[in-house]
């Protein structure tokens, strides 16, 4: 206990994290893990946010939330399912708490918090539930189950939460006091019926008015006094204390306005409501100015007045709440998102009209074991098992009418998962159909999941947008009305550029009609209507209800849809209005000048984390949360100066078990203290288990044995940490991570294989939003060069990495100057250096793939997206050359030539192009690259919009499979369609055919060589047009192929065009092998867990970020780099890693060195020490799973707290019980 | 005649089934008192000798329950448990101990209802099967 108190003053300024959903938990855990104090506040009475409602997540269709818990210093945190709650030494969790006020500036905030009054004392409540038995108020919809169940006025907000903290819904509570009498622990204190103290004074010269008002409020339980004149009223106010005065304006003796003025002098706190029969705007405004709360117009009915007074009374009751001030150095907002309510608006799908139409969240509660139906999928209308369920996508997304022209990004996977779950649960007996616009499975593993859903689970996907749902009155089933197939029906191919093929070789869709115009949406086609038993609406995301208020408090701007701006890019890289490339790119940049979370500015230390910024799935939210934590960490570290981080206390294997637990209870009152450790008795009386349950007893005896615990601690010593980070790859991700870590005060060794840093940013001039990447790169380069803590090794590569988390030792080697990309590099017997470091971040990036498909290589007019970007850069630099001096151009083009020596940069005169065709998904989402490359659709949109800007008359066709413009990029897709770019969908089984027609240079002025080269070929593309149902042919001057992204690890994949089958002969540089981590099936680096530990590699202490994980854009790369930096800093902030109490050990006298334990350890925490010939356990890496103990044939390996002896005794005790 | 009340020892993993048991309690699910839970960090740490020990000491059945495949907090502990259970089934059947006396189930953290149902079903089955013959124990 003394230790705890001594530590308090050392805490320093911590951070406040708003929102204890998955994002807030991640941010808080990261900061706490890195030794900062965190106050985690949550508006709801429980933690977990939306994730407390979702039991199943793809790709496992299960949960793995607990993997977010710290792996180092495990004893500091709770060691149980995160759904139950969270405890951490450095985290103060405050539920039912909101922010009132923020004062001060970066690094020095004083934040006023308001915690709702707890009517049930959480320390006394055992969760026995007696109170709910007696509570007379029922039928309150349960938010946890999305309203599908009800609860009483006193209830458990989350059934599995620890502590089992009953809560009173005070607005519904009648204050009858039944629960107070029933509670065996006397834990409940109901608020006094304060209505008795809420005295009302009614001032009116008409007796009938006074009397009737008095009668109404007497009935309501308020004490009421009456005064017949202003003078008497003022005397009464002087004598008694009133909370509210109802004051007539027109009175005989003294005007109400005068009474108001003098009453306010006597009692300034008095609230006054004016009553007037002669209401005019002027009197109202005047009285309001003089301090009246509001006015009410006579004649009024009792309900209106009572409601008004009740609300005044309720708002005054907030004084019950606990208001406190907390100092903080930084603030992270992670309040998540809300969901669209399909009940609002036109509601053509009949939500809440037909009981069998439910939202995706309600469906999620239905399949949950803790939901209303206990996990059974049944029709809400009649309880029968449905035979057919339909999902309707984009409900409240991609829909201008519902105010959301963005894509919610998560619903496609959400629906797929729900459909797969349904198929699995029902054993395939329930048919599942998903109606979608574009199936946006743009994540690394998403495409594979979709394929599995379709092929293995027979989920039916239909690319149709239903317009309404209606119930058949006879059958009670739901009929989905469908307009027509094909979403992009608005575009009609113009005859000048395309011709309808009558060629017999082309396939013509059978139900087509020859006239293109007649294929506009037809509502009469009722054959396509389908009947279902249940309809699930995939509701889109909406900004969190807290976004507006927090934006006002913090000054963080909201974007056009009301989501907080995440502000990833520094000011220098914000889109320039004149150079935004896209006409609509300005909106997202609006308010940029006061952007709070800008990476470069320290003025403001308020950051947006998790899904609060909108439209993120779990993995992205977790990454964003860590990234926000990293930004906060930088501020906090700078504040902390040289003070040591909060060291987790070593609990010494539970020896002296009583003291640490007691002390923590004292330290963190009303929190989760008593439930911190797995071995601690969790008080089974509350669980209502049968008396035979010896759960608590057994766990207590199993873990609580003091003697063995202390012997273990003698054997396992703390692991010292080398407080440096090695970062491999100096692209945008590597540089971001390096700067962040260095700014936080730690040394960084930045190793880049090439001689130029910057990676893909060297050719990528901007993104769809028009951010200025050359400026960003220049700024980053300068900072890296100047930073005293960053040691840049460009032209070096890592050839060896030994050691373990906290203590790596890597060898780096100088690569040969001017070496061609792709050649074997390792055997250059050059200069080597050995570096010691505590953690590794791999940011080796990815590059554009090349292809042999679609006649690539047969014509110079067939280029890739990257070449397109370079050509666009070229035109820009050409213009600069004309207008300014020539140096600028030399520098820029010189750089890119150096980086990609083998890339031929085409020079294209875009003004002279007539028709440009882009084909998406080239070698992607198929056998060659089974994943979606995520960035190609947005790149194509970017290029297309740029082209339209250069030359508005240009015809652009984008041939796509599913348009992956997730999130806010959807607006550019809309823009592109508005600007006349034609989108034609093709399917993977009917790919477009490309023919090259050589030597046609009629339409070119022959004097320019480059142009001639460019334009002499005509590319003919033939494909099936789904809307008109015909095969069409497009003749293009330029064909741009979206070839997708391959990891940089694939060194054999170069842009050279000579090898026809380049995609088949990939070679890998073997960095994964060097680092001892794993690649995934696509040769990116494997994440430890794609959802819960998205930037952790499979080896502890090695983190991955940017495109090395999988395809992502620059913004996402920066965010992931920050997240990886945060995770690395969690390790290197501590000079020692303390082993946890439940850790494995070896009784060497029994060990026969069979090495089975070494093989079985999932964390590589064991190895054979060849000097001592003993098995060493790395206490920092050991997670105490006990796999080694179970496999050991000699019982030499053991887990402290779970030794054989202890387990046997526990079994004995359990059976003898 | 009195109904036979079997003794069942359940090794439950800290992350999933233990939470489910907890949830079963909070949601007022009823299940027979015959089962005694022993919390382990992971089903992968359940040594076969613990199971044998439980049978020797007089348990009529043993339940091992952990996270669903792919969900293991320790990456793959539940797969190890699955392999071990398969082997144990083979060994135990040679001594005449029926397969159903050793069960392995996956019960996730939010499956409180399923946990209670599993226990109910298992107690029912073992009640029908009767006590484990003591002479069989001697063989082991």
A1210 and chain B in contact, CB less than 8 A: yes
At a CB cut-off of 8 Å and minimum separation 6, what does A271 contact? Answer: A243, A244, A245, A293, A312, A316
Expressed in angstroms, the distance from the first to the final Cα of chain B is 30
Average pLDDT over residues A93-110: 89
Helix (H, G, I), strand (E, B) or coil at A468: strand
Is the Cβ pair A1210, B38 closer than 8 Å? yes
Task: Give the separation between CA A64 and CA A17, rounded to whole angstroms.
Answer: 23
Contact between residue A110 and residue A103 where contact means Cβ atoms under 8 Å apart: yes
Helix (H, G, I), strand (E, B) or coil at B25: helix
Is the Cβ pair A66, B73 closer than 8 Å? yes
Q: Which two tokens stand for residue A517?
A: 């115009």
Give the count of alpha carbons within 13 A of A620, CB side only: 23
Average pLDDT over residues A345-354: 90
Average pLDDT over residues B30-36: 93
Contact between residue A769 and residue A575 where contact means Cβ atoms under 8 Å apart: yes
Tell me the nearest-neighbour CA distance from A669 into chain B, angstroms.
23
Whether pLDDT at A1156 is above 60: yes
Contact between residue A220 and residue A195 where contact means Cβ atoms under 8 Å apart: yes
Average pLDDT over residues A541-568: 89
Q: What is the mean pLDDT of chain B?
A: 90
Task: Give the separation between CA A816 and CA A834, rounded to whole angstroms.
Answer: 18
Q: What is the pLDDT of residues A516-533, one digit of tens each?
A: 333 334 334 445 788 999
Give bridge partners of residue A1020 from the DSSP assignment.
Answer: A995, A1035
Distance (Å) of CA A476 to CA A473, A531, A533, A973, A1194: 5, 10, 8, 39, 66
Task: Give the separation between CA A626 and CA A610, rounded to whole angstroms.
Answer: 8
Measure CB to CB from residue B113 to each of A374, A688, A1190 and give the nearest one: A374
What is the pairing mode between strands A140-141 and A108-115? unpaired
Quick one: CA dihedral A685, A691, A695, A696, positive or negative? positive
Task: Give the separation between CA A292 and CA A296, rounded to whole angstroms.
Answer: 11
CA-derived radius of gyration, chain A: 34
Helix (H, G, I), strand (E, B) or coil at A229: coil
Q: What is the mean pLDDT of chain A?
A: 80
**How many C-beta atoms lie closer than 10 Å to residue A662's C-beta?**
13
**How many C-beta atoms lie closer than 10 Å to residue A986's C-beta?**
18
Phi, psi values for residue A1050, rounded to 5°: -80, 80
**What is the number of CB-based contacts under 8 A between chain A and chain B?**
193
Helical H segments across A290-443, by residue range: 302-316, 360-367, 411-425
A1205 and chain B in contact, CB less than 8 A: no
* H helix and E strand count, chain A: 30, 51
Q: Which two tokens stand for residue A728?
A: 């491999």
Instruction: Report chain B residues whose CB lies below 8 A from the CB of A64.
Output: 70-71, 73
Contact between residue B23 and residue A160 where contact means Cβ atoms under 8 Å apart: yes
Instruction: Report chain B residues whose CB lies below 8 A from the CB of A1162.
Output: 74-77
Cis peptide before A164 (omega within 30 of 0): no
Helix (H, G, I), strand (E, B) or coil at B60: coil
Q: Between vectors from CA A24 to CA A19 and to CA A25, what angle results, nearest 5°?
A: 125
pLDDT of residue A1068: 62
pLDDT band at A904 (very low <50, low <70, confident <90, very high): low
Task: Give the separation between CA A1215 and CA A1023, rounded to whole angstroms.
Answer: 73
Task: Give the separation between CA A1207 and CA A827, rounded to whole angstroms.
Answer: 54
pLDDT band at A650 (very low <50, low <70, confident <90, very high): low
Is the Cβ pair B37, A698 closer than 8 Å? yes
Average pLDDT over residues A472-492: 68
pLDDT band at A390 (very low <50, low <70, confident <90, very high): very high
Average pLDDT over residues A148-171: 86
Task: Give the separation between CA A157 and CA A179, rounded to whole angstroms.
Answer: 17
Q: Between vectors from CA A1152 to CA A1146 and to CA A1153, what angle results, nearest 5°?
A: 75
Residue of A61, A80, A81, A371 best to disrupt the B interface, most CBs of B under 10 A: A81
Give the H/E segment covering residue A1032: strand A1030-1036
Q: What is the pLDDT of residues A172-197, one digit of tens each?
A: 788 888 999 999 999 998 887 777 77
What is the pairing mode between strands A108-115 and A322-333? antiparallel
Give the H/E segment covering residue A40: strand A38-41
Q: Which two tokens stand for residue A411?
A: 């619903």
List, as own/partner pairs, every contact residues A882-889 make where C-beta atoms lie below 8 angstroms and the sequence separation is at least 24, other chains included: none
By mean pLDDT, which of A474-488, A713-727, A1096-1110 is the weakest?
Answer: A474-488
Give CA A239 to chain center in angstroms.
Answer: 58
Helix (H, G, I), strand (E, B) or coil at A1186: coil
Task: Give the separation between CA A769 and CA A586, rounded to whole angstroms.
Answer: 8
ipTM value for the complex: 0.96
A1193 and chain B in contact, CB less than 8 A: no
Contact between residue A811 and residue A799 where contact means Cβ atoms under 8 Å apart: yes
Distance (Å) of CA A188 to CA A93, A821, B27, B68: 21, 72, 21, 39
- What structural domains does chain A harbor? 1-115+321-336+544-578+586-649 (3.50.50.60), 117-191 (3.30.70.20), 194-319 (3.40.50.2300), 339-482+526-541 (3.50.50.60), 720-814+835-843+1078-1135 (3.50.50.60), 854-1043 (3.50.50.60), 1144-1199 (3.30.70.20)
pLDDT of residue A877: 56
Phi, psi values for residue A182, rounded to 5°: -80, -25
Residue count of chain B:
140
Contact between residue A422 and residue A450 where contact means Cβ atoms under 8 Å apart: no
At a CB cut-off of 8 Å and minimum separation 6, what does A507 contact? Answer: A990, A1024, A1031
- Which has the closest alpha carbon to A356: A377, A329, A338? A377
Residue of A132, A369, A373, A1202 best to disrupt the B interface, most CBs of B under 10 A: A369
At a CB cut-off of 8 Å and minimum separation 6, what does A362 contact? Answer: A146, A147, A148
Is the Cβ pair A692, B77 closer than 8 Å? no
Tell the residue number behind the tokens 């309690």, with chain if given: B25
By mean pLDDT, which of A476-485, A728-737, A927-936 is the weakest?
Answer: A476-485
Task: Give the separation between CA A222 and CA A886, rounded to whole angstroms.
Answer: 84
Helical H segments across A426-526, by residue range: 446-455
Q: What is the pLDDT of residues A794-843, one digit of tens each?
A: 999 899 999 888 899 999 998 875 444 444 444 555 789 999 999 999 99
Is the Cβ pair B47, A1207 closer than 8 Å? yes
Q: What is the pLDDT of residues A288-298, one digit of tens each?
A: 777 788 888 77
Is the Cβ pair A1162, B19 closer than 8 Å? no
- Which has the closest alpha carbon to A135: A193, A188, A192, A195? A188
Expressed in angstroms, the distance from the first to the final Cα of chain A is 35
Q: Tell me A1115's DSSP state.
A: H
Give the H/E segment covering residue A878: helix A865-883
DSSP secondary structure letters along A121-166? -TTT-----HHHHH-----EEPTTTTTSSEE-SEE-SSTT-SS---
Give bridge partners of residue A607 from the DSSP assignment.
Answer: A332
Q: Which two tokens stand for residue A202?
A: 């009614």
Give CA A559 to chain center in angstroms.
Answer: 17
Q: What is the pLDDT of residues A420-429, one digit of tens each?
A: 999 999 999 9
At a CB cut-off of 8 Å and minimum separation 6, what does A883 contact? Answer: none
pLDDT of residue B140: 52
What is the pairing mode between strands A1144-1146 and A1197-1199? antiparallel
**How many C-beta atoms lie closer than 10 Å to residue A1043's C-beta?**
29
CA-derived radius of gyration, chain B: 14
Burial status of residue A327 (CB atoms within 10 A of its CB: 0-12, 13-18, 19 or more):
middle
Give CA A1130 to chain center in angstroms.
Answer: 20
Instruction: Report chain B residues whose CB lies below 8 A from the CB of A1190.
Output: 44-47, 80, 84
Whether pLDDT at A1198 is above 70: yes
By mean pLDDT, which of A265-279, A752-766, A775-789, A972-986 is the weakest?
Answer: A265-279
Contact between residue B3 and residue B124 where contact means Cβ atoms under 8 Å apart: no
Average pLDDT over residues A912-941: 91
Whether pLDDT at A891 is above 60: no
* H helix and E strand count, chain B: 5, 4
Is the Cβ pair A1204, B47 closer than 8 Å? yes
Q: Tell me A926's DSSP state.
A: S
- What structural domains does chain B harbor? 8-135 (3.40.50)
Residues of chain A above pLDDT 90, percent: 41
């Amino acid at each position: 206990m003394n230790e705890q108190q001594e530590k308090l003053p050392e805490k320093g300024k911590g951070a406040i994290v708003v929102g204890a959903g998955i994002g807030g938990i991640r941010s808080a855990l990261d900061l706490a893990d890195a030794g900062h104090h965190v106050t985690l506040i949550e508006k709801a009475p429980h933690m977990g946010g939306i994730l407390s409602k979702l039991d199943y997540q793809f790709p496992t269709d299960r949960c793995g939330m607990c993997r977010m818990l710290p792996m180092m210093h495990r004893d500091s945190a709770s060691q149980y399912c995160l759904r139950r709650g969270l405890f951490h030494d450095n985290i103060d969790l405050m539920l039912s708490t909101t922010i009132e006020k923020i004062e001060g500036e970066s690094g020095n905030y004083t934040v006023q918090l308001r915690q709702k009054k707890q009517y049930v004392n959480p320390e006394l409540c055992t969760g026995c539930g007696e109170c709910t038995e007696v509570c007379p108020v029922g039928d309150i919809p349960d938010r946890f189950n999305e309203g599908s169940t009800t609860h009483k006025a006193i209830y458990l907000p989350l059934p599995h939460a620890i502590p089992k903290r009953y809560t009173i819904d005070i607005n519904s509570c009648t204050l009858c006091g039944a629960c107070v009498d029933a509670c065996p622990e006397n834990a409940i204190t109901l608020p006094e019926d304060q209505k008795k103290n809420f005295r009302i004074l009614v001032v009116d010269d008409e007796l009938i008015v006074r009397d009737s008002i008095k009668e109404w409020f007497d009935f309501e339980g308020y004490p009421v006094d009456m005064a017949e004149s202003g003078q008497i009223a003022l005397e009464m106010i002087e004598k008694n204390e009133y909370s509210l005065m109802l004051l007539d304006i027109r009175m005989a003796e003294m005007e109400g306005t005068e009474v108001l003025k003098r009453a306010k002098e006597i009692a300034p706190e008095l609230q006054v409501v004016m009553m007037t029969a002669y209401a005019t705007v002027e009197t109202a405004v005047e009285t309001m100015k003089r301090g009246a709360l509001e006015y009410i117009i006579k004649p009024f009915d009792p309900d209106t007045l009572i409601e008004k007074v009740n609300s005044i009374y309720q708002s005054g009751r907030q004084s019950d709440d606990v208001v406190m001030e907390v100092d903080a150095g930084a603030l992270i907002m992670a309040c998540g998102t809300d969901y669209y309510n399909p009940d609002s608006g036109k509601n053509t799908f009949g939500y809440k009209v037909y009981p069998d139409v439910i939202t995706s969240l309600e469906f999620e509660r239905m399949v949950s074991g803790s939901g209303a139906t206990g996990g059974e999928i049944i029709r809400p209308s009649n309880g029968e098992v449905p035979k057919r369920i339909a999902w309707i996508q984009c409900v409240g997304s991609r829909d201008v009418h519902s105010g959301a022209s963005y894509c919610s990004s998560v619903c496609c996977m959400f629906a797929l998962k729900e459909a797969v779950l349904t198929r699995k649960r029902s054993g395939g007996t329930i048919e599942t159909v998903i109606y979608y616009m574009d199936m946006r499975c743009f994540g690394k593993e998403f495409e594979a999941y979709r394929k599995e859903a379709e092929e293995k689970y027979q989920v039916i996907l239909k690319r149709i947008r239903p317009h309404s749902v209606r119930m058949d009155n006879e059958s009670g089933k739901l009929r989905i009305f469908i307009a027509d197939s094909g979403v992009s029906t608005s575009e009609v191919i113009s005859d000048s550029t395309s011709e309808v093929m009558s060629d017999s070789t082309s396939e013509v869709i059978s139900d087509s009609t020859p006239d293109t115009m007649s294929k506009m949406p037809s509502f009469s086609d009722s054959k396509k209507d389908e009947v279902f038993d249940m309809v699930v609406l995939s509701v889109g995301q909406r900004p969190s209800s807290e976004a507006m208020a927090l934006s006002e408090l913090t000054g963080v701007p909201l974007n056009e849809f009301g989501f907080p701006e995440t502000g990833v890019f520094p000011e220098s890289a914000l889109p320039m209005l004149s150079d935004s490339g896209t006409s609509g790119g300005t909106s997202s940049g609006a308010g940029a000048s006061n952007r709070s979370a800008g990476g470069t500015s320290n003025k403001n230390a308020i950051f947006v984390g998790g899904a609060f910024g909108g439209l993120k799935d779990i993995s992205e939210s977790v990454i964003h949360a860590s990234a926000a934590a990293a930004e906060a960490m930088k501020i906090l570290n700078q504040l902390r100066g040289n003070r040591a981080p909060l060291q987790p206390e070593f609990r010494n294997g539970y020896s002296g078990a009583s003291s640490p637990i007691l002390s923590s209870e004292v330290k963190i009152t009303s929190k989760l203290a008593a439930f911190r450790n797995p071995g601690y008795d969790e008080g089974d009386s509350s669980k209502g288990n049968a008396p035979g349950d010896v759960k608590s007893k057994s766990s207590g005896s199993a873990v609580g044995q003091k003697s063995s615990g202390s012997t273990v601690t003698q054997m396992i010593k703390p692991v010292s940490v080398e407080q440096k980070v090695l970062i491999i790859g100096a692209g945008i991700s590597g540089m971001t991570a390096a700067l962040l870590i260095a700014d936080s005060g730690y040394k960084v060794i930045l190793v880049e294989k090439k001689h130029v840093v910057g990676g893909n940013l060297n050719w990528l001039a901007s993104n769809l939003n028009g951010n200025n990447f050359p400026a960003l790169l220049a700024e980053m380069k300068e900072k890296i060069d100047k930073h005293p803590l960053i040691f840049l090794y460009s032209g070096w590569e890592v050839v060896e990495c030994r050691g373990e988390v906290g203590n790596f030792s890597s060898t780096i080697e100088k690569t040969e100057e001017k070496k061609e990309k792709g050649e074997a590099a390792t055997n250059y017997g050059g200069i080597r250096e050995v570096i010691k470091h505590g953690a590794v971040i791999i940011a080796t990036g990815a590059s554009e793939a090349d292809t042999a498909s679609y006649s690539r290589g047969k014509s110079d007019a067939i280029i890739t997206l990257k070449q397109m970007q370079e050509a666009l850069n070229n035109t820009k630099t050409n213009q600069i050359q004309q207008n300014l001096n020539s140096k600028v151009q030399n520098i820029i083009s010189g750089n890119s030539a150096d980086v990609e020596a083998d890339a031929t940069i085409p020079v294209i005169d875009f003004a002279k192009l007539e028709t440009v065709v882009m084909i998406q998904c080239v070698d992607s989402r198929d056998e060659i690259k089974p994943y979606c490359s995520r960035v190609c659709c947005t790149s194509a949109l970017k290029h297309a919009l740029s082209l339209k800007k250069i030359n508005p008359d240009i015809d652009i066709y984008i041939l796509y499979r599913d348009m992956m413009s997730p999130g806010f990029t959807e607006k550019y897709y809309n823009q592109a369609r508005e600007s006349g770019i034609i989108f034609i969908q093709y399917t993977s089984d009917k790919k477009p055919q490309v023919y090259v027609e050589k030597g046609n240079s009629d339409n070119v002025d022959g004097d320019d060589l480059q142009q001639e080269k460019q334009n002499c070929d005509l590319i003919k593309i033939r494909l099936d047009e789904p809307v008109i149902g015909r095969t069409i042919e497009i003749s293009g001057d330029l064909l741009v192929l979206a070839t997708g992204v391959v990891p940089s690890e694939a060194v054999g994949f170069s842009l050279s065009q000579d090898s026809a089958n380049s995609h088949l002969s990939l070679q890998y540089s073997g960095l994964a092998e060097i680092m001892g981590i794993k690649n995934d099936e696509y040769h990116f680096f494997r994440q430890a867990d794609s959802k819960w530990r998205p930037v952790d590699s499979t080896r502890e202490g090695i983190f991955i970020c940017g495109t090395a994980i999988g395809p992502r854009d620059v913004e996402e790369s920066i965010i992931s780099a920050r997240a990886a930096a945060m995770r690395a800093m969690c390790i290197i902030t501590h000079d020692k890693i303390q082993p946890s109490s439940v850790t494995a050990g070896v009784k060497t006298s029994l060990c026969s060195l069979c090495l089975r334990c070494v093989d079985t350890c999932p964390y590589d925490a064991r190895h054979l020490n060849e000097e001592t010939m003993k098995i060493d356990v790395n206490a920092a890496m050991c997670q105490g799973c006990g796999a080694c103990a179970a496999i050991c044939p000699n019982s030499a390996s053991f887990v402290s707290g779970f030794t054989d002896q202890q387990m046997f005794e526990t079994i004995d005790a359990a059976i003898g019980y | 005649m009195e109904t036979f009340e079997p003794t069942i020892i359940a090794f439950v993993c800290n992350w999933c089934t233990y939470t489910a048991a907890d949830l079963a309690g909070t949601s007022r699910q009823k299940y027979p008192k015959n089962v005694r839970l022993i919390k382990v960090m992971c089903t992968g740490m359940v040594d076969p000798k613990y199971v044998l020990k439980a049978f020797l000491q007089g348990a009529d059945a043993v339940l091992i329950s952990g996270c669903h495949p792919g969900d293991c907090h320790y990456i793959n502990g539940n797969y190890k448990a699955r392999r071990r259970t398969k082997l144990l089934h083979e060994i135990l059947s040679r001594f005449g101990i029926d397969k159903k006396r050793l069960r392995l189930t996956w019960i996730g953290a939010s499956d409180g209802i399923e946990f209670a149902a599993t226990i109910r079903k298992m107690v029912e089955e073992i009640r029908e099967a009767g006590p484990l013959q003591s002479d069989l124990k001697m063989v082991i």
